[in-house]
Amino acid sequence: MTAAVVADGPTGQGAGVGPGTDGEVVNPADGSVVARVPWSTPADVNDAVAAASTAFLEWSRATPGERSAALQRLAGRMSARAEEYARVETRQCGKPIRLSTEFDVPGSIDNVAFFAGAARHLEGAASAEWDGVHTSIIRREPIGVVGSIAPWNYPLQMAVWKALPAIAAGNTIVLKPAEITPLTAMMLVEDARAAGIPDGVVSVVVGAGPVVGEALVSHRDVRMVSFTGSTPVGRRVMELATAGIKRVHLELGGKAPFVVFDDADLEAAVHGAVAGSLINSGQDCTAATRAYVQRPLYDAFVAGVADLFGAVRLGDPMDPATDMGPLV
């Protein structure tokens, strides 16, 4: 981990590499400072990628069973800290504690457990060659160091979705979480170390995209790039990655329609539309941004949505009764 909480953090411990620039993680609900994290520099990115390259030599040769066991231990450690993960997630990004507790954290832990199982089931393929005397085999092998950039709307889940598939397959990863919500990604690295995953397999660098993100994406030893965020930044990521002919995975912004046909369950449609548009304060790539409703249900649907919107409880994200918190 190449950046660490230095004050008021979720764990109060960690080791930083390089001074960087102190960045404040601010609670969007009340403006209080949750933690101060030293921002990484391009030199820190270089160190993290070098450590990941070294770790790859060992981790890529670990057996599927060994990698699976390590990820199972990670899931166990995260389960033991589930309440802490939920509190930190809510404090850094403002999502209601009920969402963190019932969705983000258990979903993340379940994903770790899933990829612990998937590590044992990496498939290849074989078939007869055209001449009948040779066999054609496809063998899946780790790529190398993966550089990933995650957004601020689901900090822990995005860190898990970026890191776990990569390391389950024998790769190593350097992750740049959003600089405004880095804390649970840093906790994930702490728990990975404690679970016996070797140093350098999972690292975190923290800082602004044009500095730290671009240094990571364009690094010559990064073999694959993964980015989730806006379309303009996705274009920039692809531009930088193509200079090194890297593999690229982009998940960019969406604008999802909510469609209601005239044979729909009206009550379910109303609840689904409100939940789909307001979950995580609407900061969701699949958020229901508009509705198309067949005419026979239109008036009742609009009235039902209006009534339900009126019952949404805004308030302190740490209050379990709160339905909707602030924008991060």
Q: Which of 179, 239, 251, 267 is catalytic?
A: 251
Q: Is 251 a catalytic residue?
A: yes
* pLDDT tens figures, 36-65: 999 999 999 999 999 999 999 999 999 999
Q: What is the pLDDT of residue 169?
A: 96
CA angle 254, 259, 260 (to 5 degrees): 160
pLDDT by residue (tens digit) across 175-191? 999 999 999 999 999 99
Catalytic residue from among 24, 84, 214, 285: 285
CA distances to 55, 114, 134, 181, 236 from 35, in Å: 29, 31, 60, 10, 30
- 198 burial class (0-12, 13-18, 19+ CB within 10 angstroms)? middle
Tokens representing 244 are 């090194």
Per-residue model confidence (pLDDT) at position 251 = 95
In this prediction, residue 4 carries a pLDDT of 38
- CATH class for the domain made up of 22-252: alpha beta
3-state secondary structure of 179: coil
**pTM, rounded to two decimals:** 0.89
Question: Which pLDDT belongs to residue 2?
Answer: 41
Low-confidence ranges of the chain (pLDDT < 70): 1-21
Q: What is the pLDDT of residue 11?
A: 34
- Unique residue bearing structure tokens 């409880």: 313
Domain spans in the chain, listed from the N-terminal domain onward: 22-252, 256-310
Measure the CA–CA gap between 300 and 199, rounded to whole angstroms: 58
With contact defined as beta carbons under 8 Å apart, do 187 and 37 qualify? no
* Residue 89 annotated among the catalytic residues of the structure: no
For residue 189, report the phi and psi dihedrals to the nearest 5 degrees: -65, -40
Under DSSP, the state recorded for 226 is E
CB contact at 8 A, 36 and 24: yes
- The reported pLDDT for the residue numbered 213 is 97
